[in-house]
């Protein structure tokens, strides 16, 4: 009886389960499909499938429930609660928000279109498509998915052409009705042709066949250019520029406006240099074209020079402003205070190149510059300079409006909906057409957030470019400082980062990884070595645009600890990656004959670039070689075989820094991964510093109470700074810097930051190095001493990092001179592990670009990273001093390899370098690359054996200071 009861209960449960399954199967999803993909949603609006029909692969991201749509209203976000498809109308309901929407759905063979017809319930925004995908959006995948915004009012988060999230939003601020997208899911090789067909007939996207889906078919995106600025390219100098351009194998010139060329916004040309106005430049472009060189107009987008006729002597009423104020009382022409009705409490007086703020008011036809504001009634602008920027001081009645003008990069902008905005765009197009420019670089377009904030950056920048594009008689290639979804249609290549000043090889890898990542803001790729190495070797970017390795500047020795000399191997690394990625380059700075005569190093580097460029444009090397050349961290050297063919050899440059002749750094091990070969090397004396007890040193740390505060840490990391009784010799104070990681963050991202602020700012211009005694605990953590500037001074976000591996115990003295960059991406810094959010301006880019302005240092930071899990670490740090740098002279430098010694009979000063090459030729060069002498070697050249090699360095140094020398041992492999 009990047995039959058990079976009955079991059968009943099975029947219930079957009923649930059958009921579930009977509920049909809403399906959108064409020949290539199938997108399915539940009636509740949950995403079910996004299927590649040819391969029957479902690419919907399977990491929990996702909804196809949502709205924001009164600060809250609400998911869709129900959807229905009635004929061609897709109805969306958001019951909790009291919102509904209708979309028109039309289907084509290779895409499906969704257009917002109406929205009720007054939401702030409507996300009318949201499909997270498991695709990587990379060129090696067989299938590609893309959501295309079809007009300016539609915000698609990711850029074309290969996406991992298909998400589109419209906003009440811009108008929701008419927002429109095209959804594509295709074999990857079909994505660009399909986009071309869609865009050809798009009413909301001005047509261009020089960018976006056409970019790989147009020649402009694959070129390389010289940058001309300051009016240096004139009818008198055009022949010299043509010669300089060809000396690098380049085929384009970028003509950067501003300064002595033309005024941004008004396009007023320098009449002394261009007496016939833009007709003069039309003739210049004709000469360039005859020489096979394209010409690019480099503008500051919509920005307006303060000395242009738009600003002075009568300011244009269309100048953009942050806020309008009402005069509380009449203002006479001599008043230095202006009282207004509205609060000035939030008005800032901080300005700077990167700061979005001005201290300028426009009242009628007068501009007024102020130095202060009151934070409580009566609200005033104080310290007013009347009749600023060449305008006239005037009387103003009560109730007249005072407009606080928008400014960034030291320039004004037009209002977003003004005739001035349109006029600047039209004038840009007119000059391009009339002078027959081949391209436009919209520099400073990354200031597009001035009008609507970061949230509407995607709209206002494209609004200006659309205006230019629809006024052009003939489409031209375009580039922008930044990127948005809608700019993609015009962009002819991707992407021009600014030039680095150190860590050149790693910077190239990081740049390539950024190009091929889903990070689209100019220079804001955070990066981490595993990600960098994966992305850098990929063939294409998800954007499917020609690749570009940005703006580059070659540096001779400068003695600056923040700027590294450019050596020939740096350029070979750069150029081999250019061939591997078919990527172009821009060279900045002086490249003419006189510059090369003054700095012979430039001529050597230019010749290398020219040879590589000639081979790149010929497509000389097969894809198999190009794939090898793309490998991050791998050096190659170009050489010519005996039969005249060009080929590559792999090379390894083993760099080592000798920080002193008696501190143990003069002996190390070199791994040779190739066959046995004669020694090849480079020796370069560096700058040294004055002794720690020199009276000219500046003490940066008092180690008083609360001098350092905790300014952030990774998840699971805690730490503190306390005073220490254990002091280095002759020190008055020291600290314990202790920390512990719970293991919640990965070891390479287990960081903590302690900071001391300098108020007022401290001037370290003559004391740019650091000296410090450290007692290590041998736990392997990384200690970083960093200096920096306030955000409004210098290049925002630039860091002066000095890394110390705590792989030792006991006291050790460190002279920290050169700013370090290359190891930065081996670690995760100041990143929220879960959200990946980073502070503004904190990225890998700023470890390599720009220099800390040492005359205005506002902080000293002590960082730990690489903390071991579940173990307390503790270093004792003595006083930190800023030290003056001094040059050194060394004589008879010698290198011992596995017991064999070679002495180089030369005397060398800081910045000179000696090279022993693969032909056993030894030369001594000046700091500018001039050959000073052919060095006759008396000793046999040692052999570098396969595997491990014991190396030591010695020399006759400069008395009283450490002889700091960089030694590079070079190994070459067999030809590819």
Closest listed residue to residue 234, CA positions, set 276, 292, 263, 267: 276
Helices 504-515 and 529-536 sit at what angle, rounded to 10 degrees?
70
Tokens of 646: 């060009």
| Beta bridge partner(s), residue 722 | 736
Q: For residue 399, how many other CB atoms are within 10 A of its CB?
A: 11
**Cβ atoms 493, 545 nearer than 8 A:** yes
| Alpha helical stretches, state H, 527-641 | 529-536, 568-581, 593-598, 600-618, 623-629
Q: What is the domain partition of the chain in residue ranges?
A: 30-205, 220-305+431-489, 321-405, 504-633, 653-687+887-972, 698-884
Q: For residue 236, how many other CB atoms are within 10 A of its CB?
A: 8
- Is there a common fold for 220-305+431-489 and 653-687+887-972? no
Q: Hey, which CATH number is domain 653-687+887-972, 2.60.120, 1.10.10, 2.40.360, 3.30.2420?
A: 2.60.120
Helix or strand holding residue 198 (H, E): helix 188-200
**Cβ atoms 145, 50 nearer than 8 A:** yes
Class of domain 220-305+431-489: alpha beta
Residues of the chain below pLDDT 50:
1-27, 832-836
What pLDDT score does 20 carry?
35
Taking the whole predicted model, whether its pTM rises above 0.85 is answered as yes
Q: Hey, which CATH number is domain 698-884, 2.130.10.30, 1.10.3720.10, 2.60.120.260, 3.50.50.60?
A: 2.60.120.260
What pLDDT score does 839 carry?
60
pLDDT digits (tens, 9 = 90+) for 161-200: 999 999 999 999 999 999 999 999 999 999 999 999 999 9
Cβ-based burial of 861 (10 A; exposed 0-12, middle 13-18, buried ≥19): buried
Closest listed residue to residue 501, CA positions, set 828, 817, 821, 765: 821
What pLDDT score does 12 carry?
43
The helix/strand/coil state of 678 is: strand
- Dihedral sign, Cα of residue 771, residue 859, residue 502, residue 949: positive
- Rounded to whole angstroms, the Cα distance separating 141 from 158 reads 18
| Beta bridge partner(s), residue 658 | 965
**Cβ atoms 822, 847 nearer than 8 A:** no
The helix/strand/coil state of 629 is: helix
Q: What are phi and psi of 609, to 5 degrees?
A: -60, -45
């Amino acid at each position: 009886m009990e047995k039959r009861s058990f079976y009955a209960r079991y059968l009943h449960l099975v029947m219930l389960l079957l009923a649930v399954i059958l009921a579930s199967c009977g509920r049909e999803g809403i399906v959108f499909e064409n020949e290539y993909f199938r997108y399915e949603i539940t009636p509740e609006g949950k995403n079910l499938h996004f299927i590649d029909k040819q391969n029957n692969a479902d690419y919907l991201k399977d990491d929990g429930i996702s909804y196809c749509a949502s709205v924001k209203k009164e600060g809250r976000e609400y998911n869709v609660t129900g959807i229905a498809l009635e004929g061609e109308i897709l109805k969306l309901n958001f019951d909790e928000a009291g919102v509904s929407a209708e979309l028109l759905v039309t289907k084509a063979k290779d895409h499906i279109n969704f257009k917002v017809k109406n929205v009720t319930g007054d939401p702030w925004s409507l996300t009318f498509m949201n499909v997270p995908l498991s695709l990587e959006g990379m060129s090696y995948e067989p299938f590609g998915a893309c959501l295309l915004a079809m007009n300016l009012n539609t915000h698609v988060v990711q850029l074309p052409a290969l996406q991992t999230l298909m998400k589109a939003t419209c906003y009440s601020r811009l108008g929701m009705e008419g927002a429109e997208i095209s959804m594509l899911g295709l074999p990857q090789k079909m994505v660009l042709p399909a986009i071309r067909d869609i865009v050809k007939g798009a009413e909301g996207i001005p047509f261009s066949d020089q960018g976006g889906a056409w970019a790989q078919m147009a020649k402009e995106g694959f070129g390389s250019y010289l940058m001309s600025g300051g009016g240096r390219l004139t009818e008198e100098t055009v022949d010299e520029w043509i010669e300089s351009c060809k000396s690098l194998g380049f085929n384009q010139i970028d003509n950067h406006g501003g300064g002595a060329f033309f005024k941004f916004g008004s396009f007023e040309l320098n009449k002394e240099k261009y007496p016939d106005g833009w007709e003069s430049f039309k003739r210049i472009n004709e000469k360039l074209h005859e020489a096979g060189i394209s010409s690019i107009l480099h503008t500051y987008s919509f920005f307006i020079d303060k000395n242009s006729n738009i600003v002075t002597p009568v300011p244009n009423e269309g100048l953009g402003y942050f806020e309008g104020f009402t005069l509380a009382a009449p203002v006479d022409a001599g008043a230095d205070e202006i009282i207004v009705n509205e609060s000035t409490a939030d008005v800032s007086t901080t300005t700077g190149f990167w700061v979005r703020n001005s201290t300028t008011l426009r009242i009628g036809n007068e501009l007024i510059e102020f130095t202060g504001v009151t934070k409580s009634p009566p609200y005033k602008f104080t310290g007013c300079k009347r009749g600023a920027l060449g305008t006239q001081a005037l009387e103003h009645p009560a109730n007249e409006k005072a407009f606080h003008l928008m400014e960034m990069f030291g320039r004004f902008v037009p209002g977003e909906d003004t005739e001035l905005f349109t006029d600047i765009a039209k004038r840009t197009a007119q000059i391009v057409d009339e002078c027959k420019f081949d391209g436009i670089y919209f520099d400073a377009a990354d200031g597009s957030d001035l009008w609507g904030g970061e949230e509407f950056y995607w709209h206002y920048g494209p609004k200006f470019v659309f205006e230019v594009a629809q006024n052009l008689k003939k489409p031209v290639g375009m580039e922008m400082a930044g990127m948005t979804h809608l700019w993609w249609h015009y962009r002819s290549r991707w992407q021009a980062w600014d030039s680095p000043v150190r860590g050149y090889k790693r910077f190239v890898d990081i740049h390539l990884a950024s190009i091929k990542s889903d990070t689209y803001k100019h220079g804001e790729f955070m990066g981490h070595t595993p990600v960098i190495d994966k992305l850098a070797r990929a063939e294409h970017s998800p954007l499917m645009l020609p690749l570009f390795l940005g703006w580059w500047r070659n540096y001779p020795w400068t003695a600056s600890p923040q700027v590294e000399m450019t050596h020939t191997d740096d350029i070979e690394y750069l150029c081999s990656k250019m061939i591997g990625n078919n990527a172009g380059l821009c060279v900045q700075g002086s490249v003419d004959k006189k510059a090369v005569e003054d700095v012979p190093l430039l001529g050597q580097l230019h010749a290398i670039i020219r040879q590589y460029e000639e081979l790149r444009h010929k497509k000389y090397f097969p894809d198999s070689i190009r794939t090898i050349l793309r490998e991050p961290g791998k050096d190659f050297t170009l050489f010519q075989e005996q039969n005249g063919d060009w080929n590559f050899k792999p090379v390894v440059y083993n760099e080592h820094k000798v920080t002193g002749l008696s501190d143990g750094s003069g002996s190390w091990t070199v791994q040779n991964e190739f066959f046995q070969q004669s020694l090849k090397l480079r020796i370069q004396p560096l700058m040294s510093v004055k002794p720690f007890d020199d009276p000219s040193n500046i003490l940066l740390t008092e180690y008083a109470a609360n001098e350092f505060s905790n300014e952030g840490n990774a998840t699971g990391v805690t730490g503190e700074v306390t005073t220490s009784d254990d002091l280095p010799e002759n020190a008055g104070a020291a600290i314990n810097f202790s920390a512990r990681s719970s293991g919640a963050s990965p070891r390479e991202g287990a960081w903590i930051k302690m900071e001391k602020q300098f108020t007022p700012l401290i001037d370290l211009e003559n004391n740019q190095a650091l000296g410090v005694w450290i007692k290590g605990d041998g736990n392997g953590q990384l200690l970083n001493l960093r200096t920096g500037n306030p955000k409004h001074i210098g290049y925002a976000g630039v860091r002066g990092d000095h890394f110390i591996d705590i792989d030792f115990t006991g006291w050790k003295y460190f002279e920290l001179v050169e700013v370090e960059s290359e190891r930065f991406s081996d670690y995760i810094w100041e990143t929220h592990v879960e959200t990946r959010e980073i502070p503004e301006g904190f990225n890998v880019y700023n470890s390599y670009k720009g220099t800390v302005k040492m005359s205005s240092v506002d902080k000293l930071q002590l960082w730990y990273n690489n903390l071991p899990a579940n173990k307390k670490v503790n270093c004792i740090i003595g006083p930190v001093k800023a030290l003056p740098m001094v040059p050194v002279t060394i004589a008879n430098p010698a290198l011992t390899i596995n017991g064999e010694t070679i002495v180089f009979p030369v005397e060398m000063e800081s910045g000179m370098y000696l090279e022993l090459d693969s032909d056993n030729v030894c030369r001594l060069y000046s700091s500018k690359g001039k050959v000073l002498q052919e060095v006759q070697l008396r000793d046999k050249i040692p052999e570098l054996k396969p595997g491990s090699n014991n190396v030591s360095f010695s020399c006759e140094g400069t008395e009283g200071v450490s002889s700091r020398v960089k030694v590079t041992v070079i190994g070459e492999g067999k030809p590819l």
